[in-house]
Structure 1
């Protein structure tokens, strides 16, 4: 099982996830300057860029893939109950060394102390990491779905849509990906936890459970491929993003209260009293500043682009990291 799982992950699952990671990082880089409203608790917060938000997900997946790549799976040749008795009869004092060399020749980690079955610890660590990677991608699916709901992104129309509503282009790959990835995460988490337990030397309950390795990995693979397909089809509605920024001038409030504090004026409660945006918000904000002896032109950012911090740079750095990994850097 260690050999089969190792090869399935290394030859099939990881390449699919790496391909998805590259596509995500490239999309993040292309959209690094696409300014948009960041939302916390579903409500407008401060300016960000679409590229930076995608880069967050790419960075998480990159870190997870590094841990998957570091995983080493176990092997054993230690006899019926892990005492090496049979090997000692044949190889004498060299029994342990023979066992170690054989296991390591297969590219596996030699476990010194075992029962009849090898402990599942190292395999469980790998499965837990793959479960984590699956849920990281579920998080990406849900963020993209919500951006689609807000009208900020949409899937490029294709041949298949709603059977009764011809105007719709549904994010079917995204929703398919979410379902498969969540299934994969739950299955992998169950396998990782359950297979740590085996009664005394062993029982056969693990045998039927292990046969689901492939099922769980298949759900992960399908989810990753569907998510990659959605990214390829995803378009950005730049006009709607611009309108969304115009609808929410309150996203500049943080910048205003920080700049005021730097000049020795605490406006937090007064800005809060102005409400959560709406028509005339910037005018009310400017009047408040002037009333407190501050020049509005110096305090209120001229545009959301002026209050992005390092957002574009973060997207660029993550892109470089991902492509450095691809080159082995």
Structure 2
């Protein structure tokens, strides 16, 4: 047997080729012959987590984008006829309402129509233009058909549509979800404002705080970034093929097309960018996504801190009837909400960073990299929204273990070393003590080993300091050494 084995090991390895389907060892069929599954979503956002993020689909899906495109096209028609351009007359209120129904009642019929038309045109915005023209004919408004998409480039329609959909997604879905987390943090901060806890700077016992104050820090940080997100601009351009209004002026040089465009865009409830190339430069998107990523970083910090507090026993998780923590260890309640939030914030943060990096650049007057990139806005928002949903649920399912906090403090009296050496310094300055290097004195007493209440009391009794200072130190406990933490939390 040995010569045969040796010969096999010396044989030259063939060049790489795609592996053949392995035949099953017993029963079944090769993987390649497995029947296809019924139509299934590839992304978990459209499958497992659809219920948590579905609200974004009204705005950031392909259908949501197309509905906004129809809205922009229709409102442009109305704006032009309101100005009676080229001898037209303003539409009646009834006709305006029938036109607006094209996007207000946008549904499966329009989705299917656009899919069929785009399969022919190979151009999504052109398909929308044809849809509007088709509906104008059905409404008996053929006379204004040539005003559909008048003097527009696709990016006039797209920039306004993305500004509308992103604004609505942020203000109608994402910010309310963030607000729910902030509100819960504020409630917990108030509830636990006086709950003294051992701090752990660098993971080591440190000057005590309160759980309420530590949660209030996160609420404060998030509110600050939220204000910046809420103040975001949502910019659109409406200036033609290269941002010069050339076609507009060729059609009628006597119209102030810049003013018309500004009034139209601002009438949609978004902001106007007057100076662009063929595309709106996306800087507002970069700013928004960077602020959202910043908020995500704070939320990630919250998730990991709460996870750690649970690990330390500071928070107990409230059991959910029928839920399973571990498939093999019945006692476990895993902090899955915070772990899920952590992972989704990392995915969202990466996507938001990629959006910012890509959208800030466009070659010359236009390239198409932004088209594919912007179609992933909903994915980035979805993972962020899913994280917010998990954080809100997770915060609802924890209970503070005040007895654990108290026990932890009682086992770490050495954290009062800071207070003692600081008081000694004050006494030296006041002329009531001649102690030299108070820091070193306390360092020798406490560094690297535990010191209990009795040892600290004995040490303080022997200090050369004023009686009032000595009595303050003797009355001090780790649980009482929290400064203004309670006030800060409230």
Equivalent residue in structure 2 for 1:149, among 294, 302, 311: 311
Work out the CA distance in 1 between the residues paired with 2:459 and 2:251.
90
User: 263-272 vs 278-287, which deviates more?
Assistant: 278-287
1:11 aligns with 172
1:263 alignment partner, SS class: helix
1:132 alignment partner, SS class: helix
Normalised by the size of structure 2, how large is the TM-score?
A: 0.62
Equivalent residue in structure 2 for 1:70, among 210, 213, 231: 231
Work out the CA distance in 1 between the residues paired with 2:317 and 2:344.
19
Cα deviation, residue 214, structure 1: 0.1
Cα deviation, residue 270, structure 1: 1.0
Conserved? CA contact 1:116–1:202, under 8 Å: yes
2:442 aligns with 271
User: 286-295 vs 251-260, which deviates more?
Assistant: 286-295
Q: Does 1:85 align with 2:246?
A: yes
Work out the CA distance in 2 between the residues paired with 1:301 and 1:145.
34
Counterparts of residues 1-329 of structure 1 (less than 5 Å): 1-92=162-253, 93-158=255-320, 159-264=323-428, 265=435, 266-276=437-447, 280-294=451-465, 296-316=470-490
Conserved? CA contact 1:252–1:300, under 8 Å: no
Work out the CA distance in 1 between the residues paired with 2:326 and 2:316.
15
Q: Which stretches of structure 1, 4 residues or more, deviate above 6 A after TM superposition? A: none
Map Cα deviations across residues 200-247 of structure 1 (whole Å, 9 max, x no partner).
111111111111100000001000010010100011122211110111
Report how many residues are paired.
Answer: 316
Cα deviation, residue 280, structure 1: 4.3
Work out the CA distance in 2 between the residues paired with 1:168 and 1:8.
37
For structure 1, which runs of at least 5 residues remain unmatched after alignment? 317-329
Work out the CA distance in 2 between the residues paired with 1:99 and 1:211.
26
Cα deviation, residue 107, structure 1: 1.7
Work out the CA distance in 2 between the residues paired with 1:184 and 1:224.
11
Normalised by the size of structure 1, how large is the TM-score?
A: 0.92
Cα deviation, residue 281, structure 1: 3.5
1:325 aligns with none
Work out the CA distance in 2 between the residues paired with 1:219 and 1:248.
41
Work out the CA distance in 1 between the residues paired with 2:474 and 2:380.
52
Map Cα deviations across residues 293-313 of structure 1 (whole Å, 9 max, x no partner).
235433244323432111111
Superposition RMSD in Å: 1.6
Cα deviation, residue 279, structure 1: 5.1
Work out the CA distance in 1 between the residues paired with 2:243 and 2:476.
72
Work out the CA distance in 2 between the residues paired with 1:90 and 1:273.
87
Map Cα deviations across residues 139-171 of structure 1 (whole Å, 9 max, x no partner).
000111111111111211222211111111111
Cα deviation, residue 286, structure 1: 3.4
1:320 aligns with none
Conserved? CA contact 1:274–1:285, under 8 Å: no
Conserved? CA contact 1:274–1:281, under 8 Å: no
User: 208-217 vs 253-262, which deviates more?
Assistant: 253-262
Map Cα deviations across residues 98-132 of structure 1 (whole Å, 9 max, x no partner).
11111111122211110000101111101111111
Question: Which structure has the bigger radius of gyration?
Answer: 2
Conserved? CA contact 2:409–2:479, under 8 Å: no
Conserved? CA contact 1:301–1:307, under 8 Å: no
Work out the CA distance in 2 between the residues paired with 1:238 and 1:307.
16
User: 274-283 vs 68-77, which deviates more?
Assistant: 274-283
Work out the CA distance in 2 between the residues paired with 1:108 and 1:161.
47
